[in-house]
Structure formats: C-alpha cells, structure tokens
A and B are shown apart, each in its own frame.
Chain A
Amino acid sequence: MRLPLFGIFLAAGVSLAPFSSVALAEQAAAPKTAAETEASVSADFTVLHGTNDGTGIDAKIGKMPELTKPPFSAYNSYKLLERATASSSKSKPSITKLPNGSVLKVTLKDVVEPKKKGDAKRYVMNASIQKQGGNTFLPLLEVNARAGETFFVAGQTFKGGILVIAIKVNP
C-alpha cells in the first residue's frame, strides 16, 4: 500500500502548494519602515570590463565567483576598471561616472526594518544610468538589498566588450 499512499500524499501536497504560497504572500504584508532613523547608506561600486580576449579574470577583482557562471560566462575575461565607495541618501544621490562617460546615479529610497528580531534591515535603492549625450541606458532599477549584498548591472558596450557594475551595500 506504500505506493498509493505515497500518491495520495503527493497529490495532497501538489494541490495545497498554491494555497500555502498565498498564505506566505499574505504574511509578508506590511513590514515596518524606519527611513527616518537611518537616512543614508554607503555602497561600494566596482566597474569591470568583460571581454573575450582570453586574459582571464583580473586578480585585483578579488573573490567574485559569479563571473564564472552564466550570464557572465559569456565573456572569458574580466578586468577591474574602477572601484569606489560613495554614500547616498534620499535627498543626495551618489553619482558615479563610468569609463564610457555614462553616469550611474544611486538613491536611497527607504530603509525597511526587519520583521523578525535579529534579521538585517533592507535598503530600498533606486539606480539609473544616463548615457553621455542624454540617452538613458537604464531608466530605473529599484532593489531591496541587505547590508553586505551585491547586485550587478551589466550590458553597456565598451571597447569590444561590456561594462559590468557591481554595487555592494555596506553595513
């Protein structure tokens, strides 16, 4: 009777799974905000140049295992172009000029307190990239990131390759 019982349990699990996800989504509602208490955040900006020139990954980049995985593995070589730290707040965005003349603007939009004690705060940040000459490369990217987490914006063509921007939120 093991097999039918297994089938029944599996059936019940598959049937109830959508409802449990709905319940989780409802639980996620209404976290608290505390933007007033922490008005700015510091972030590390690392600009890389991805190419297929076969030189490999620049040791100066440090530990960045994502570069060997898709979609980054579309390029076999990454070179460190720039590294900078800047802080941004609601009223004062951080402005970073990129090697191709574009401008990366990052603004802190909000700080969300954790729902559970011991969890990290989340920073709601807006990023946009304005190209030289007025064109917009990325009109808006809004992310929720915890301190220590990194996200990437990639794809701008530059000197036979692409630019990869890594943005890490500092604690």
Chain B
Amino acid sequence: MTTKSMNGTAHDRRAESPVSDLDLMLYLDGELSDDRHEEVRRTITRDKVLRGKLDALELSSTILRERVSDAAINIDLTDAVMAQIASHKSDVSLDERDNAPVAREVQAIVAPIAPTVSLDKLGSRTKPSNDNARGIFALAAFAVAAAAGLMIWGRMAPAPSTEPTPHVAVVATPEVSKGVAPNEEIEPAKGADAMADSTQDEEVGVEVAAVDFGSRVGTIFYVPTEAATSKHTTTVVWLTDPDGDGE
C-alpha cells in the first residue's frame, strides 16, 4: 500500500510495519496472508535477531510436538476412569430400579451434620436414581478451587516487561517446571539467596542462577537423565548462532 504524505513523498506503509513475535508464530504456522508472509520472510532474511527467534520457535515447537504426541499415546483417559470406577465397586450398592450406583457412605457422613434429613428417602424416592448432582458438585468445587489457585498464582507472578530487550531467555521445561518467562533476563543471584530448597535440589541438577545471552537467542533445557522414574535432570544452555564463524 503506497501513500503520499503532506509534502508529496511517497512511502510504502506496509514495508515499515515491524515484525512482532505474533507475526513470527503465524509465519511459522503458515497462517499469514500471502503478502504479509512474503513481507515477514524478507524482514527475517535481513534481521539476524529475528532469524534467531524463528530458529528458537521452530526448536521449541518441535520439542512440544514430540512431547504432546508421546503423552497422547501414553494416556488413555477412558481406561483410567473405568479402572477407578471398578476399584470403588465394593463401596456402592445398586439401586433396584436401574442399577445406578448409590454410595452407602453418604448416610454415615451426612447424618451427623443434618440428622433430620432422611437420605434413604432422598436417594431412593424423591430424586431420580440417575441424579448427577454429586458429580456436578465435585466438578464445581474443583473449578472454583482451580480458579482461586490460578488467581493467587497470577498475583504472585511478576508482571511481564513491556520494554523490548535484545536479551532473551526462553526456558523449556520438559520435565521440571522452573518458571522463567520469555523475554525475561534472569537476574544475577544475590549470593546464596538463589539457592533452591534441598528438596528441589534432589530433583533439579545444575541450577542456572543467572544468564546473559547477549544479542543471541538462548534456551535453557532441563533434560531428564537416564531413568524415567528419576526426576533428576541435566541442564542444557542452548544458543543460536546465526552468524557462526567456526566453519
């Protein structure tokens, strides 16, 4: 799109639009329009930092895809639920009308709290036997608790920096969750204050206290060691080297 300014000079407005991180992700996913795709491609060709970012994004997405596909293969939710139901069979009796499970423990637990309520009547006569209230209650309680937990967590997390910075520390955590947000340079540890709790020490191997990637894009990986059951990991600092001169 070419426009003219007040003094008559023509300039290309689209050529000036900067390439954001979102543009890079859309570019990688092939979701940009043809014009924008070409424009971003040209910009990446010229800009080493963008190339580095793109490399890091590609690497991260490859690893994520591998992880997700592994997890999808290993988890069968239906089997897990059915196994859980089967393990609780001994604790339930069957309603005579439609064999819907009714917990015996309900009476024992609720009776002291509300002695005037007859659960036998509630369970067998006044309510349909296929009532899902218990399950809905449990799910609602879980949802409320999860929301509360996330809200508290969100308040504890540091606010993302809006200031652009060439230093990028992206942390990929395939096994161990160590929270360092993208575009956040890790502050140098104040002496021994950065030491983790000894319980965490047993799980995480070498701990990165501070890192400065300079103008490069870097990623910190925590790679699981040999034993799948062990939570111990090996720390890997991986930097992109678009202008490598070691050829």
Seen from chain A, the residues whose Cβ lies within 8 Å of a Cβ on chain B are: 1-8, 10-15, 17-19, 22, 24-25, 27-33, 65-66, 69-72, 74, 99-102, 110, 112, 114-116, 119, 122, 124, 131-133, 135-146, 149-160, 162-163
Q: Determine if B134 is an interface residue (Cβ-Cβ < 8 Å).
A: yes
Q: How far is the CA of A31 from the CA of B194 in the complex (A)?
A: 9
A-contact 0/1 string along B194-218, CB 8 Å cutoff: 1111111100011111111110101
Q: Report whether B206 and A11 are in contact in the complex, using a CB–CB cutoff of 8 Å.
A: no
Query: Contacting chain A: which of B18-26, B36-44, B75-83, B137-145?
Result: B137-145
Seen from chain B, the residues whose Cβ lies within 8 Å of a Cβ on chain A are: 59, 62-63, 66, 88, 91, 103, 105-106, 109-110, 134-135, 137-142, 144-146, 148-149, 152-153, 156, 172, 174, 188-189, 191-201, 205-214, 216, 218-219, 221, 223-226, 234-241, 244-247
| B146 contact set on A, CB distance < 8 A | 11, 14
Q: Which applies to chain B's interface (DSSP): helix, strand, loop or mixed?
A: mixed
Nearest CB of A to B6, in Å: 44
Q: Report whether A1 and B110 are in contact in the complex, using a CB–CB cutoff of 8 Å.
A: yes
Nearest residue, chain B, Cβ from A99: B246
Known: A11-B141, A133-B245, A137-B216. A17 touches B211 (CB 8 A): no
Q: Report whether B212 and A69 are in contact in the complex, using a CB–CB cutoff of 8 Å.
A: no
Q: Report whether B194 and A157 are in contact in the complex, using a CB–CB cutoff of 8 Å.
A: no
| B138 contact set on A, CB distance < 8 A | 3-4, 6-7
Give the contacting residue for A100; candidates B66, B148, B219, B246; CB below 8 A: B246
Q: How far is the CA of A64 from the CA of B237 in the complex (A)?
A: 16
Q: Report whether A150 and B234 are in contact in the complex, using a CB–CB cutoff of 8 Å.
A: yes
Most central of B110, B138, B246, B247 by chain A CB within 10 Å: B246
| A65 contact set on B, CB distance < 8 A | 225-226
16 further interface pairs, Cβ-Cβ under 8 Å (given A154-B239, A155-B241, A156-B246)? A2-B103, A3-B135, A6-B138, A11-B144, A14-B142, A14-B146, A28-B200, A70-B221, A71-B236, A115-B198, A137-B214, A143-B206, A145-B206, A152-B236, A154-B236, A156-B241
Q: Report whether A140 and B212 are in contact in the complex, using a CB–CB cutoff of 8 Å.
A: yes
| B224 contact set on A, CB distance < 8 A | 69
| A74 contact set on B, CB distance < 8 A | 59, 62
Nearest residue, chain A, Cβ from B107: A1
Interface pairs (28), CB distance under 8 Å: A2-B103, A3-B134, A3-B137, A7-B141, A10-B142, A14-B148, A15-B145, A18-B149, A31-B192, A65-B225, A69-B224, A70-B174, A70-B221, A71-B221, A99-B246, A100-B245, A122-B195, A124-B209, A131-B245, A135-B245, A138-B214, A139-B214, A141-B210, A149-B205, A150-B234, A152-B238, A153-B236, A156-B239
